[in-house]
Amino acid sequence: MSSFKRYTFAAMLTALLLVSVLLTSCVSFSGSTIDDIPPLDFSKDAVDEKEESEPPTEEGYTARPTVTAIVNTSPEIVVISGACEEGAVVTATSPVDSVSVNSLNGYYILEYDLDGRDSRSLSITAKVDGKEESTPRDITVKRDAMAETRTDEFEVVLGKDGYLFFRETVENYCGTNIATVSKIDKFVNDTVNAQITALENRAGGMEVEIIYVLIPNASFEYSEYLPESAEKGTYNTLYDQVSEALTKSNATFINMRDVFGQHKDDGYTLYNKTDSHITDYAGFLVYTEIMNHIAERFPEAAPHALENFNVSEEKVVAGGNLAVYGQFDTDTLTEKRVTLSPKFSLDMGDSAHRLKLTTTNLSKIQKFTSEDSCEIISGDANEGMSSVLSRLYFCTERPELPSAMIYRDDSSAMFVDYLAERFNNSMMAVSGDYVVNLTDAGRHASAGKSVVDYVIVIVDENNLDQLVK
């Protein structure tokens, strides 16, 4: 046989072997779905190209929903979330059952129970009234034996129609954490009334006042969206107990539940959907109530009216702490953040304090992790800025205004800057510190006074157990 013929024969044999291998490979996937094929390791460019290649939504059809997070909150409970068309009802369908939820702010959060199965193939579809159902998006959810339900204060639970809550918010609503009568009495007598007595003794006849401000949590406005398991075991809650106790104490009590109830229909939201904190507008209401009371003694300290702020809900930002702790994609679970921008100047507060304390300019306070997020900053602030939750000192050099020590939690983050603008000297305790320091009461007093004019304690409902121990 010539060398040419041997070469041709070898080439033909090689080709036949390649065809055989390819046919064998095809047979091995017989009866499988596309979900059974292991995903390819696309590069970033390839992923971008794949995303761009998704066909546009046909006219008259609902846009196809995305799936951006699949999280096992327990071995058999899977939470699926993604973006969808505004106002859509999103459905996850398996061969044997289906689950539907209403979307919220252009995203959906859906909970699926594997009910003893190891895995389940689901088709995710969306439908808007007046349009046909979307093209399905197929996924596979699996049992995760290692998944554990979070049990600390940051456990996030899914309510109805995509609403998120911290577990303690639900427990507060249900009244499962009410305090004993002895604890309430101890709080009033050994904490509140004792603080007032000690301050008055140190003041030497000067008028000094303690103001307690209670802020209800999100269940106040969104109780209809709490999980179906949220049933009141008692009509009394810890908020009710502390409110009643403060009403009977020697302190001034500001109940923001009553105030929020009067302003629920103002047109601005009071609570975020993806974050446990109140909005800027709700913070404005707290600020107004505090300063209206103080203006009875110090008229110059009257609060700025809403007309002195630019109010906007136009900016869409990344989701907050509920989205973060729930392990959702914060770029999908977005928030239309209520923003109050003062028309008056906040370029003040860093004047030299008489005790040579390092004071902070009110315009240099960082509230959020970034300008494009509604998550409150909890770590170090950007260069040249101060974290809103840290211990802060302000000196505006306006002796006609009162002085104050303010003990607070994270709920104060929305308004501490324009609250401090209404005082001559003020000290903001680090978030979570509610212990009134008598030495500080003298250190931050205005000239010629032995103690500050006011001690203000601002507490969110979820943190009342830190007061009543």
Assign residue 118 the CATH number of its domain.
2.60.40.10
Is the domain of 233 the same as that of 125? Answer: no
Token pair in block for residue 165: 């809550």
Dist. CA 171–CA 238, nearest whole Å: 10
Q: Do both 207 and 244 map to the same domain?
A: yes
Do both 262 and 188 map to the same domain? Answer: yes
Distance between CA atoms of 110 and 411, rounded to whole angstroms? 29
> Does residue 8 form part of some domain?
no
CA-CA distance, 372 to 335, in Å (whole number)?
10
- Predicted TM-score (pTM) of this structure: 0.86
Residues of the domain holding 124: 44-148
- Of 106, 114, 103, 43, which Cα lies nearest the Cα of 72? 114
Same domain, 140 and 175: no
27 exposure class (CB count in 10 Å sphere: 0-12, 13-18, 19+)? exposed
Are 328 and 235 part of one and the same domain? yes
First-to-last C-alpha distance (Å) of the chain: 99
- For residues 129 and 247, membership in a common domain is answered with no
Domain count, the chain: 2
Q: Same structural domain for residues 186 and 272?
A: yes
Distances (CA, A) of 140 to 7, 73, 80: 50, 16, 11
**Residues 369, 439: one domain?**
yes
Q: Which region, left, alpha or beta, applies to residue 432 given φ > 0 means left and ψ of -120 to 50 means alpha?
A: left
385 domain residue, yes or no: yes
Residue ending a domain, among 87, 118, 148, is 148
> Does 58 share its domain with 114?
yes
Residue 157 in any domain: the answer is no
Assess if residue 231 is contained within a domain.
yes
Per-residue pLDDT tens listing for the chain (469 residues): 444 334 343 444 444 333 343 334 433 333 333 333 333 332 333 333 344 467 899 999 999 999 999 999 999 999 999 999 999 999 999 999 999 999 999 999 999 999 999 999 999 999 999 999 999 999 999 999 999 887 788 899 999 999 999 999 999 999 988 999 999 999 999 999 999 999 999 998 899 999 999 999 999 999 999 999 898 877 789 999 999 999 999 999 999 999 999 999 999 999 999 999 999 999 999 999 999 999 999 999 999 999 999 999 888 999 999 999 999 999 999 999 999 999 999 999 998 777 678 899 999 999 999 999 999 998 899 999 999 999 999 999 999 999 999 999 999 999 999 999 999 999 999 999 999 998 899 889 988 899 999 999 999 999 999 999 8
Q: Residue 245 falls within a domain, yes or no?
A: yes
Final residue before a domain boundary, out of 100, 118, 148: 148
Q: Do the Cβ atoms of 91 and 98 come closer than 8 Å?
A: yes
Give the span between the Cα atoms of 88 and 83, in whole angstroms. Answer: 10
> How does DSSP assign 303-352, residue by residue?
PPPGGGEEEE---EEE--HHHHHTT--TTTSEEE--EEEESS-----BSP
Q: In this structure, is residue 334 part of a structural domain? A: yes
Residue 440 within any structural domain of the chain: yes
Q: Name which of 355, 359, 361 is nearest 442 in CA terms.
A: 355
| 54 domain-assigned | yes
> Quick one: 134 and 187 in the same domain?
no
Q: How many CB atoms lie within 10 A of CB 246?
A: 23
Chain-centroid distance of CA 48 in Å reads 31
Residue 145's Cβ-count burial label (10 Å; 0-12, 13-18, 19+) is exposed
Q: Which of 74, 198, 193 has the alpha carbon at shortest distance from 141?
A: 74
- Give 338: exposed, middle or buried? Use CB within 10 Å, 0-12, 13-18, 19+: buried
Identify the domain boundary among 117, 148, 179: 148
3-state percent breakdown (helix, strand, coil) of the chain, nearest 5: 30, 25, 45
118 and 186 belong to one structural domain: no
Strands ordered across the beta sheet of 69-72: 69-72, 77-83, 107-113
- Here the contacts of 54-61 (C-beta below 8 Å, separation 24 or greater) are 57/134, 60/131, 60/132, 61/131, 61/132, 61/133, 61/134, 61/135
Residues 144, 187 within the same domain: no
